[in-house]
Structure 1
Amino acid sequence: MSLLHYLKYFLFHGVGLIAAVAILAGGAWITFGLIAVLVIYLVGDAICGDDTSTPQFKHPGILTVQLWLALPLLAFIVFSALWSFSNGDFLGFGAALTQLTGYDLVAARDATFAGHYVSTVLITGLMIGMVGTIPAHELTHRTWDPISMLVGRWLLAFSFDTIFAIEHVYGHHRYVSTTEDPATAPRGRNVYFHILASTLKGNVSAWKIEQKRLKRKGHSLFGWHNAVLRGHLMSVLLVVAAYVIGGWQTALFFTACALWGKALLEIVNYMEHYGMVRNPATPVQPRHSWNTNKRISSWTMFNLTRHSHHHAQGEVPYQDLKPFPDAPMMVGGYLTTIIVALIPPLWHKLMTPKVLDWDQRYATDEERLLAIQANARSGIRALQQANVRRQPGTAQVARA
């Protein structure tokens, strides 16, 4: 086993450190840091091709520690952003780093043009989504491991989304690609509407799931055993910490970053399952998720890109996920696809042919009937006019 296969996942931490250094450097460096992160993903995925390797890891504990390290890394990034936005020097942080590095962080911060704080919100929210939600997604699937669950829930608290550990694992994975799943965007839906709809319905779903669990366990709904309430309290504590660092303006600043991080999750949900259809009584197959094997996205996102295998077998650790190159593919790597999703006319122009191709190549006969109904409701003329009825037996189903 080459050491490279372990080291490649540390690129995740490298991107996070780039963001933190850019924020602390202040001024135009913040915007340059944001641009650098975008270039790493957009250009890297475009020129570095796909990673379809499936190495066997003999030391999985190293890979778990890499996930756990996301929590101190995210805490440092967010603290750096809060410090850079505040007026004071909490705990003498800036003075200490200035003495250590010889770079006057306080002066650089005080000279920062207000417009660069937009870049601070964008890059901090991006890191909350990437350094927070991505490893949390992996960790909260490990329901048998209390340390991983604790680390995962604290990572999710930074985006006000600890309910993800409930709804995603016990709701989304059961109902994915059906009308019962809040995270699956139906054909024709606008991504901005999806952010709101999925957030609201996801919270309702998590509450109902937790309500049933507490009733089964014989616990009170409004008490310490309620994981939804405990999770929201974790996020409140982070807002309070932001207030302590820099007052109410800094608390509002953190809230903006957290909500942007949460919005990124819903954008990712949107692009991972957009337009898919499935009978909830049938097993989830690799064909029910949009996949990508872009190298940079895969290495810096703990193989979140191999989403087709993840939904077919949700308990498989990220390092053991298979690439499934024959699964339905996204328009590009993750950040590329996020940007496309944020431009609805471009998204529908690129995705409508992919959805129709999915109907022809991947859907079962039953799913084609569901697709016809989805097309009729979509409001997309090309979908409504498409003849998705095919002869039985032509579906090419990706198998786990």
Structure 2
Amino acid sequence: MLKYLKFSLFHCLSVPFLLGIILGGHWMVSGLLALTLVIVFGDLLFGDDNSEPDYQHPRVLNVLLYSALPALCLVFFAMMWSLSQHDLFGFGHFIQYVSGYDALAARQTNLFWHYGAMCLAAALLIALLGTVPAHELTHRTGDPVAMLTGRWLLAFSWDTAFAIEHVYGHHRYVATAKDPASAPRGRNVYQHICCSTLGGNISAWRIEAQRLSKKQQPALSTHNRIIRGIAMSLMLSAVALWLAGWQGLLAFSVSALLAKALLEIVNYVEHYGLYRLPNQPVRPYHSWNSNKRISSWASFNLTRHSHHHARATVPFYQLKAVPDAPQLPTGYLGCILLALLPPLWFRLMEPKLARWEQHYGAMRSQ
């Protein structure tokens, strides 16, 4: 049963965030601390998970995937309740009724910096509960329920275009100059966030425009999935404004933009400095891999990125560890923190890129 339950870790990591908001005050940093400490130090302490179990009941894993949407909605509501001038839907009174704790009084002790920590934690949770499951679901292009759920998850980070660009653009052009998400050697992460965000959205629009052109439908219409996706994010922003005023809208907008930036940082660490010729098949060595136990469990095996790019249609629970693929220095959140310090990141990655060039550079024409 553990092989199924391990993928519920991302749900568990939302609990300290929710408890911190209920307890208020300095407890508001609980979500941020729990996320960073558990994932970063968990990867360091518990090592790699190279297991490849056989899952006889994939429906259990699908329940975990789809339950990400209500979980993310709960995180969103908790944010709005903490910022609202009212007791939304009587939540505070309900907490006091069942526990005896005066959550409304505790909320009054919140300071500005508490909300800053809340937004950072919310951004991590939007990425963890939203972008990661959406990545898996939007690869299931023949399943309309999966696609709709995935797009709503992406709407929380204002990034429904990802469902188009990632599947039809990134996977086609990965590790080439045509792929906005693949960072060339020497580019720092801050440059990449801007370049990949702009280039990815332009690419998504072109892909969608070409699709609509083949169907003889106008690009500027409700047939356009990008326009519909923007409407979904606008709807969430309107709900935030309605529930918690301009403070709620600001907090949601900041968290959403940070979550989008996190996605681009993950793209950065997954593909930094690796390259292939456009006519060369995508191989496991064209992506950085990580088999760190906690990162893998918390991200539906997204860290097994080398196999994912070699076989994009394989569901997350069938991805192979590929221990001989190029390996990142640590798990994903640890690499995100390292990438935010470009001199340190370059110092760690240059020897790895030199070894990659030595082992795989000669294969680039094959």
Per the alignment, residue 134 of structure 2 pairs with 136
1:95 corresponds to 2:93: yes
Distance 2:327 2:180 in 1: 22
Distance in 1, Cα, partners of 2:350 & 2:131:
28
**Which is worse superposed, 279-288 or 356-365?**
356-365
**Whole-Å separation in 2 of the counterparts to 1:363 and 1:90:** 58
Following TM superposition, by how much is the alpha carbon of 1:219 offset from its aligned partner in structure 2, in angstroms? 1.4
Structure 1 equivalent of residue 109 of structure 2: 111
Q: How far has the Cα of 1:256 moved from its partner?
A: 0.4
Residue in 1 that maps onto 2:357:
359
What one-letter code is carried by the residue in structure 2 that aligns with 1:143? T
CA deviation after TM superposition for structure 1 residue 235, in Å = 0.2
Counterpart pick for 1:221 among 207, 210, 219: 219
State which of 314, 335, 343 in structure 2 corresponds to 1:337: 335
Question: What SS is found at the alignment partner of 2:178?
Answer: coil
Deviation, structure 1 residue 366: 4.0
Equivalents in 2 of 1:118, 1:248: separation in Å? 15
Match of 2:254 among 250, 253, 256: 256
Q: Give the TM-score taking structure 1 as reference length.
A: 0.90
**Does the 8 Å contact 2:122/2:255 carry over to 1?**
yes
Contact 1:49–1:295 under 8 Å retained in 2? yes
Gaps of 5+ in 2: none
Aligned length: 366
Q: What does 1:235-274 align with in structure 2 at a 5 Å threshold?
A: 235-274=233-272
Q: Counterparts of 2:334 and 2:308 in 1: how far apart (Å)?
A: 21
2: CA distance, partners of 1:365 / 1:14:
43
Alignment match, 1:311: 309
Q: Name the counterpart of 2:167.
A: 169
Per-residue deviation, residues 221-278 of structure 1 (Å, max 9, x unmatched): 1111100000010000000000000112211111001000100000000000000111
Determine the C-alpha separation between the residues in 2 that align with 1:275 and 1:23.
40
Question: What's the CA shift for 1:37?
Answer: 1.7
Percent identical: 53
Q: What's the TM-score once normalised by structure 2's chain length?
A: 0.98
Q: Deviations over 1:151-204 (max 9, x none)?
A: 100000000000000000000000000000000011111101111111011000
Equivalence map 1:154-193=2 (5 Å): 154-193=152-191
Q: Secondary structure at the match of 1:293?
A: coil
Contact preservation (8 Å) 1:178, 1:184: yes
Partner of 2:76: 78
Q: CA offsets, 1:72-104, max 9 Å, x none?
A: 001101110121122222222222222222221
C-alpha deviation, 1:143, in angstroms: 0.5
Contact 1:24 1:81 in 2 (8 A): no
After superposition, give the CA deviation of every residue in 1:327-363 in whole Å (9 maximum; x if it has no partner).
0000101110010001111101101111111101122
C-alpha RMSD of matched pairs (Å): 1.2
Moved more, 43-52 or 99-108: 99-108
**Map of 2:30 onto structure 1:** 32
Q: In the alignment, is the contact (CA less than 8 A) between 2:7 and 2:298 conserved in 1?
A: yes
Superposition deviation, residue 365 in structure 1: 4.8
Task: Select the structure of larger CA radius of gyration.
Answer: 1
Which residue of structure 2 aligns with residue 206 of structure 1? Answer: 204
Which residue of structure 1 lines up, in the alignment, with residue 231 of structure 2? 233
